[in-house]
Amino acid sequence: MDFSDKHIVITGGTGALGTAVVGAVLAHGAHCVVSYMHDAEAQALPYRAHPNVRLVAVRDLADEADVARVYGAASARLWGSIQIAGGFATGKVADTDKSALMRQIETNLISCFLCCRAAVRAMRNGGRIVNVAARPGLEWRTGAGMSAYTIAKAGVAALTVALAEEVAKDGILVNAVAPSIMDTAANRAAMPKADHASWPKVEEVAATILFLASPENHVTRGAVVPVYGRT
């Protein structure tokens, strides 16, 4: 896959999955604008000094001004937009108030919507958009105990399919991946007794994102691809 001279925005590019995606696209020649919220994550990004990486600090990607700054830092020849930024929270419906629900919707769905909007406006010669949904966003029963998160990620999946239909005629292919629990240090610490070997690795999920975002993807659009590993 050849990303030479392709300019890509990656939100949440300093997290575990984001770092894997940034490394993958850089290895194939891409130029990246990477948003981040925490200075410590930006400092830990192994590609922070790479000549093809531009880091942009944000406070809230559900804020239109922050989104405009991220996409304003990208080249006018934007090719790709990969929305990884988001947040997770558990909580039964009975224990989730409106503010907690809205936090999940804003962090996961509204941020994705605003980034998709900015990307579509910037893609003048076609391009690729890849969102990150989640397994509960496709398999709602698995979202028991995390209903707010499930609602938000289901919205990301619906947005992906609807937007794909809107912009296909413009040469923009929109897809998403839906990971199950990924094999990260944080998830291992939170679930030390789980079968970690069955979890998808972030590099494996990144490989699927890489193809969907690549020029070699000529026909796939409107897909929400399960990346579950053996779980």
Q: What is the pLDDT of residues 4-63, one digit of tens each?
A: 999 999 999 999 999 999 999 999 999 999 999 999 999 999 999 999 999 999 999 999
| pLDDT tens digits for range 145-183 | 999 999 999 999 999 999 999 999 999 999 999 999 999
85 lies in some domain: yes
57 lies in some domain: yes
CA 39/CA 93 separation, integer angstroms = 33
Identify which of 23, 6, 3 has the alpha carbon closest to the alpha carbon of residue 14.
23
What is the pLDDT, as a whole number, of residue 227?
97
15 lies in some domain: yes
Q: Domain containing 137 — which CATH number?
A: 3.40.50.720
Number of helices (H), then strands (E), belonging to the chain: the values are 9, 7
Global pTM value: 0.96
Give the residue-averaged pLDDT of 112-130: 96
211 lies in some domain: yes
What is the pLDDT, as a whole number, of residue 75?
78
Percentage helix, strand, coil, to 5, in the chain?
45, 20, 35
Phi-psi category of residue 142: left, alpha or beta, with phi > 0 → left and psi -120 to 50 → alpha: alpha
Identify which of 110, 112, 225 has the alpha carbon closest to the alpha carbon of residue 177.
225
Identify which of 131, 151, 2 has the alpha carbon closest to the alpha carbon of residue 61.
131
2 lies in some domain: no
223 lies in some domain: yes
* Domain tally, the chain: 1
